[in-house]
């Protein structure tokens, strides 16, 4: 939406007036208009509105018009010297830490698993079709459903995972990985890894299949071992696909809401940034405050995006 003026400006070059190019450009604009309007309605305007609301005392319960309060939602030192602003709220920082921890561990583990799956499926074995189909199962299961399925397996007395834990002597009777605040986050990482590894594997598989096979032939002729082939051919040529997959998944994991919410609700030990925002906004009815949280989440994700874009540019320059 931001660049609409430029789009409109294109056919306005009166010099070529009714030229074919100009007509085409105008047609393109008309074809794009409904989509741009829809994106402005559900993306652009709501984002601007959220930013505006974050500077107000908007409340979900009262019908009053929101009042401008400046930065008070973010930073507000009261007369007693206590900062009641968001940036001084330990619960917010804990949710940031939880989310970052969950994202980093989950994305690293699923990258490793996904790479393993992709390598296995890519090898010329019988039954690879079956394997490729099977790994689509976790992907196809709705996130909420997978959360409930694992919730059941984690259940303290009747859950199968808890039973295995007891057999291995890791858990005592009545203990469960999700109920224990020290292990809950890691239990959720396991659910996320299970659910999202297939996506990773499919993206990496597409990357693997685009590597020309004669490279391996040549390496074999030169006497390279399998490990050398993997390190010198597979990894470097897979790097672009790997980077795209990791970026996709990181940005996705940073905004995670449904799985932890269904398993643990608003519990502080597994509260992610999105859960914290919704709690402020809906459960506490503090719409303005909740909007401030949303703005901060947006900023965090922008930071990650910019970091990745810089990183990938550096990477591209190195390979060229």
Partner 1 sequence: MTRKRFGHAAFQVVFWLVVAIILFYVLFPFYWAVKTSLTSPGDLARTALHWFPDRPVLSNYLEVFRVQPFGRNLVNSLMVALGTVLVSLLLSAPAAYALGKFRFRGKRPVMYVILAVSVFPQIAVLPGLYAVVKWLHLYNTWGALILSYLIFTLPFTVWTLTAFMREIPTELEEAAVIDGASPLVTLFRVLLPVMTPALVTTGLLAFINAWNEFLFALTFTSDNSARTVPVAIGMFTGASQHESPFALIMAASVVVTVPLIALVLVFQRKIVEGLTAGAVKG
Using the rule CB under 8 A, is 1 a contact of partner 1? yes
**What token pair was written down for 234?**
């597979």
In angstroms, the CA 49 to CA 55 distance is 10
Using the rule CB under 8 A, is 309 a contact of partner 1? no
Q: What does each C-alpha distance from 312 to 14, 204, 251, 295, 316 come to in angstroms?
A: 41, 17, 15, 26, 6
Rounded to a whole number of angstroms, the minimum distance from the CB of residue 301 to partner 1 is 5
Please give the residues from 177 up to 206 whose contact with partner 1 meets the rule CB under 8 A.
194, 198-199, 202-203, 205-206
In angstroms, the CA 29 to CA 146 distance is 42
Query: Phi/psi of residue 171, each to 5°?
Result: -120, 145
Rounded to a whole number of angstroms, the minimum distance from the CB of residue 182 to partner 1 is 23
Instruction: Identify the residue among 36, 219, 224, 285 touching partner 1 (CB under 8 A).
Output: 36
In angstroms, the CA 251 to CA 303 distance is 11
**Alpha helices of 211-272 — where are they, by DSSP H?**
214-221, 226-229, 235-254, 258-264
Instruction: Identify the residue among 87, 100, 141, 237 touching partner 1 (CB under 8 A).
Output: 141
| CB-count exposure of residue 60 (10 Å: 0-12, 13-18, 19+) | middle
Rounded to a whole number of angstroms, the minimum distance from the CB of residue 53 to partner 1 is 5
Rounded to a whole number of angstroms, the minimum distance from the CB of residue 264 to partner 1 is 12
- Which range in 34-42, 70-78, 102-110, 175-183 contacts partner 1 by CB under 8 A? 34-42
Instruction: Identify the residue among 78, 123, 213, 318 touching partner 1 (CB under 8 A).
Output: 123
Using the rule CB under 8 A, is 307 a contact of partner 1? no
Using the rule CB under 8 A, is 174 a contact of partner 1? no
Measured from the CB atom, the residue of 27 and 228 that comes closer to partner 1 is: 27
Instruction: Identify the residue among 115, 241, 242, 246 touching partner 1 (CB under 8 A).
Output: 241
Measured from the CB atom, the residue of 85 and 117 that comes closer to partner 1 is: 117
Rounded to a whole number of angstroms, the minimum distance from the CB of residue 6 to partner 1 is 4
- Which range in 6-14, 87-95, 178-186, 312-320 contacts partner 1 by CB under 8 A? 6-14
Q: Taking the alpha carbons of 28, 30, 33, 34 in that order, is the dihedral positive or negative?
A: negative
Rounded to a whole number of angstroms, the minimum distance from the CB of residue 82 to partner 1 is 26
Beta bridge partners of 83: 77
In angstroms, the CA 279 to CA 287 distance is 10
Contact at 8 Å (CB) between 111 and 200? yes
| Residues found in the chain | 320
Rounded to a whole number of angstroms, the minimum distance from the CB of residue 288 to partner 1 is 9
Please give the residues from 247 up to 286 whose contact with partner 1 meets the rule CB under 8 A.
248, 251, 254-255, 257-258, 261-262, 273-274, 277-278, 281-282
Instruction: Identify the residue among 15, 18, 31, 124 touching partner 1 (CB under 8 A).
Output: 31
Instruction: Identify the residue among 160, 303, 311, 316 touching partner 1 (CB under 8 A).
Output: 160
Rounded to a whole number of angstroms, the minimum distance from the CB of residue 166 to partner 1 is 10
Please give the residues from 59 up to 98 whose contact with partner 1 meets the rule CB under 8 A.
none
CA angle (9, 14, 20) in 5-degree steps: 90
Instruction: Identify the residue among 59, 105, 143, 229 touching partner 1 (CB under 8 A).
Output: 143
Which residues have a Cβ under 8 Å from the Cβ of 113 and sit 6 or more positions away?
193, 197, 200, 201
Query: Phi/psi of residue 302, each to 5°?
Result: -60, -40
């Amino acid at each position: 939406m931001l660049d609409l003026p430029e789009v409109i400006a294109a056919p306005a070059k009166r010099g070529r007036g009714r030229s074919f190019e100009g007509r085409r450009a105008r047609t393109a604009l008309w074809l794009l208009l409904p989509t741009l309007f829809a994106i402005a309605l559900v993306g652009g305007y709501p984002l601007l509105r959220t930013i505006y609301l974050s500077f107000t005392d908007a409340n979900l319960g009262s019908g009053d018009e929101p009042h401008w309060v400046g930065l008070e939602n973010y930073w507000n030192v009261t007369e007693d010297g206590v900062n009641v602003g968001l940036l001084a709220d330990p619960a917010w920082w804990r949710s940031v830490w939880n989310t970052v921890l969950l994202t980093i561990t989950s994305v690293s583990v699923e990258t490793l698993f996904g790479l393993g799956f992709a390598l296995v499926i890519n090898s010329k074995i019988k039954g690879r079709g079956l394997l490729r189909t099977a790994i689509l199962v976790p992907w196809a299961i709705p996130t909420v459903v997978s959360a409930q399925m694992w919730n059941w397996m984690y259940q303290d007395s009747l859950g199968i995972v808890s039973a295995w834990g007891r057999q291995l002597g890791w858990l005592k009777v009545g203990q469960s990985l999700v109920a224990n605040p020290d292990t809950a986050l890691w239990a959720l990482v396991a659910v996320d890894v299970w659910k999202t590894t297939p996506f990773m594997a499919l993206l990496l598989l597409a990357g693997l299949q685009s590597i020309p096979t004669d490279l391996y032939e040549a390496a074999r002729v030169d006497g390279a071992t399998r490990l050398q082939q993997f390190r010198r051919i597979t990894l470097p040529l897979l790097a672009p696909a790997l980077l795209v997959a990791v970026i996709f998944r990181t940005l996705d994991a940073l905004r995670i809401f449904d799985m932890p919410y269904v398993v643990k609700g608003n519990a502080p030990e597994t509260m992610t940034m999105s859960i914290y925002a919704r709690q402020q906004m809906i459960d506490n009815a503090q719409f303005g405050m909740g909007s401030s949280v949303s703005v901060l989440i947006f900023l965090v994700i922008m930071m990650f995006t910019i970091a990745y874009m810089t990183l990938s540019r550096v990477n591209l320059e190195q390979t060229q």
